[in-house]
């Protein structure tokens, strides 16, 4: 098990960190958990969390997976991107306040260029959500972001 703070594993800060802790991880999967708080950043007036936020819970769990592996190797935690999802399904419209959700992410594919696919599930009593997340972790994120920013500056200068 690890004792790394989530803030050191995720490229998020403060209230944007939605998962509470890592239950466990290995070479191919991660399990995280959280308790739905009625005063959370995305909470509805009744204190529940909209089901669509489940995608972010899954994405943060995948990011924590990458962060754990980076830390194990002594590498810095790097930025990654959620490219999209296929077939997000959830049997509820919102996760009730107080629900203890477990997120399970299983790596199905990851190539040397940073592209990956994870099968993800959220479970709690009476609750199940699933999705396949397509993610991208550039080999050199700083250079990738510099290149993207430079391209945007050129486009705006062309106007």
Residue pLDDT, tens place only, 130-157: 999 999 988 776 666 666 565 555 555 5
* Residue 86 bridge partners (DSSP): 132
Closest to 64 (Cα-Cα) out of 8, 123, 139, 122:
8
Other beta carbons less than 10 A from residue 63's beta carbon: 27
Greater confidence (29 vs 87) lies with 29
CATH code linked to domain 6-157: 3.10.129.10
pLDDT value of residue 136: 92
pLDDT value of residue 2: 66
**29: its two tokens:** 């999967």
pLDDT value of residue 22: 96
With vertex at residue 36, the alpha carbon angle to CA 53 and CA 62, rounded to the nearest 5 degrees, is 50
Quick one: average pLDDT of 100-129?
A: 94
pLDDT value of residue 138: 82
pLDDT tens digit sequence for 56-102: 999 999 999 999 999 999 988 888 899 999 889 999 999 999 999 99
Closest to 89 (Cα-Cα) out of 31, 29, 132, 30:
132
Greater confidence (94 vs 2) lies with 94
pLDDT value of residue 141: 65
pLDDT value of residue 153: 56
pLDDT over threshold 90, residue 11: no
Quick one: average pLDDT of 43-64?
A: 97
- Predicted model pTM: 0.86
Closest to 108 (Cα-Cα) out of 74, 81, 132:
132
Q: How is the chain split into domains, by residue range? A: 6-157
């Amino acid at each position: 098990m690890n004792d790394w703070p989530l803030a050191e594993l995720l490229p998020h800060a403060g209230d944007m960190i939605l998962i509470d802790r890592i239950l466990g991880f290995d070479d191919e999967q991660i399990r995280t958990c959280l308790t739905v708080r009625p005063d959370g950043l995305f909470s509805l007036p009744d204190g529940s969390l909209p089901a669509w936020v489940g995608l972010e819970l899954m994405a943060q769990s995948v990011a924590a997976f990458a962060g754990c592996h980076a830390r194990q190797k002594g590498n810095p935690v790097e930025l990654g991107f959620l490219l999209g999802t296929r077939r997000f399904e959830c049997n509820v419209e919102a996760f009730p306040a107080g629900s203890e959700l477990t997120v399970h992410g299983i790596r199905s594919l990851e190539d040397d260029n940073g592209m990956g696919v994870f099968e993800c599930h959220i479970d709690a009593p009476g609750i199940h959500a699933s999705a396949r997340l397509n993610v991208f972790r550039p080999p050199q994120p700083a250079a990738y972001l510099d290149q993207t920013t430079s391209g945007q500056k050129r486009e705006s200068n062309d106007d």
